Amino acid sequence: MTQSTPQRVVRRGRVFPEIQWTEERKAQEKARRQAFSERCWAIFERLKPEILDKYYGWYIAIEPDSGDYFIDQDQEVASKMAREKYPHVIHHIYGINETGISGRI
């Protein structure tokens, strides 16, 4: 007796092959993200001397267009506060420490 094997189409490659960014578009997106990060970092550096001693180890969510920031002990709560006030705007999270890194290895 012979066994039949199921016929299955194996798809390899991009999930959305119709979306192909040019090198120019990739460079534009990278520059946009870099500019956003630099605007957020400037606000964090300006605030760091004021908040470093009082909130060391906490998290800060920064919305760069308005300059508003939200501080909490929990990263998710700080992010939620930023999303509640600015629901359709991207914000950046920093850890309040010397480096601004908010994650752990």
Residues whose CB is less than 8 angstroms from the CB of residue 43 and which lie 6 or more positions away in sequence, other chains included: 62, 64, 67, 69
Tens of pLDDT, residues 53-105: 999 999 999 999 999 999 999 999 999 999 999 999 999 999 998 888 866 65
Q: What is the pLDDT of residue 99?
A: 82
Between 14 and 24, where is the model more confident?
24
Q: pLDDT category, 1, cuts 50, 70, 90? A: low
List the alpha helices (DSSP H) in the chain. Answer: 23-51, 75-85
Q: What is the pLDDT of residue 43?
A: 94
The predicted model scores a pTM of: 0.75
Amino acid at 82: A
- For residues 96 and 48, give the distance between their C-alpha atoms in angstroms, rounded to a whole number: 7
First to last CA, the chain: 56
